[in-house]
Amino acid sequence: MTPHISLLALAHAAVCAILCFSLINYQRDGARYRRWASILSYVMIVASGGVVIRVFTGSYVDIDLAEFVLNAALCAGVVAMRGNVSRLLKPFGVQSKDKEEHPS
């Protein structure tokens, strides 16, 4: 017997699955390696993948609309940046120390 899954829960799982998939499939293509961005991406992959698993196992029962909207906005940003977390945070002034010391 499977638990009842609401439409909001399915939408939330879909958004988190897209977010997880976008982050997993990021290709650096010569971009500079940044440890903080890799760690942040890993945490986001685990968290978003965990949401998908928890929704489909029935252990994620209270899904808030505000949480869904925040995850959808984060997903849209990550997809727009093609999975590049450092480009996503660039408008907030997050840069590596190398770039500050050696302006180009």
Alpha-carbon distances, residue 47 vs 16, 44, 72, 84, 103 (angstroms) = 9, 5, 14, 17, 35
Is it the case that residue 61 has pLDDT exceeding 60?
Answer: yes
Quote the pTM value.
0.81
> What's the alpha-carbon Rg for the chain, to the nearest Å?
16
Residue 81: exposed, middle, or buried by beta-carbon count in 10 A (0-12, 13-18, 19+)?
middle
The tokens for 50 are 């965990």
> What confidence score (pLDDT) does residue 102 get?
42
